Amino acid sequence: MEAKAEIGVFGGSGFYSFLEDVEEVAVDTPYGQPSDSYFIGDVGGKRVAFLPRHGRRHHLPPHMINYRANVWGMKELGVRRIIGPCASGSLKKEVGLGHFVVLRPVRRQDVGETRHLL
C-alpha cells in the first residue's frame, strides 16, 4: 500500500472535526482487526490518519483495544509519527485540571527495560 498519511493520531471521537477531505480506509493486519477504520484527511497541510481508539461508537473498553493491530495499521498507511492524546485524571494533587503532561521514555539499566516517566 502506498503511503497515505505521515502522521497518525489515536484519540477520541472529537478529533473528526479537525480533518478536511476525509477518506475512510479499512486495514487488515496480522494481529486482527484494529479498533475501527482509519480516517485520513488534511490538518494544517499534513496528511493525518486518525483512529478512534475505542471505536467510533466507543464500544471497546480499554482492556479490549487491539493495540498491536492499531499500530500495524498506521504503519501500513505510511505513518512515521504517532500522537496518542488522552484525557485522564492524576493521582498527584499538583497535577490538576488543565495541566498538560508529556511522558518521555527513559531506559533503566538496572531493570533492562524502557519505562515512561513524567
Q: Count the neighbouring beta carbons within 10 Å of the beta carbon of residue 96.
A: 9
Grid cell 496528511 is found at 47
Residue-wise over 25-39: b if at least 16 C-beta within 10 A, else e?
eebebeeeebbbbbb
Residues 1/26, Cβ–Cβ less than 8 Å: no
Encode pLDDT of 27-65 as tens digits. 999 999 999 999 999 888 899 999 999 998 888 988 899
Which amino acid is present at 54? H
Q: Is residue 22 part of a domain?
A: yes
Encode pLDDT of 66-113 as tens digits. 999 999 999 999 999 998 877 666 777 887 777 777 766 555 555 555
Q: Which domain holds residue 20?
A: 7-83
- Please tell me the total number of residues recorded for the chain in this structure: 118
Q: Is residue 112 part of a domain?
A: no
Q: Is residue 94 part of a domain?
A: no
**What total number of domains does the chain contain?**
1
Q: What angle is formed at CA 32 by the lines to CA 31 and CA 33, rounded to 5 degrees?
A: 130
Q: Is residue 29 part of a domain?
A: yes
Residues 69/31, Cβ–Cβ less than 8 Å: yes
Q: Is residue 30 part of a domain?
A: yes
C-alpha cell belonging to residue 76: 501500513
Q: Is residue 72 part of a domain?
A: yes
Q: Is residue 93 part of a domain?
A: no
Residues 45/11, Cβ–Cβ less than 8 Å: no
Q: Is residue 41 part of a domain?
A: yes
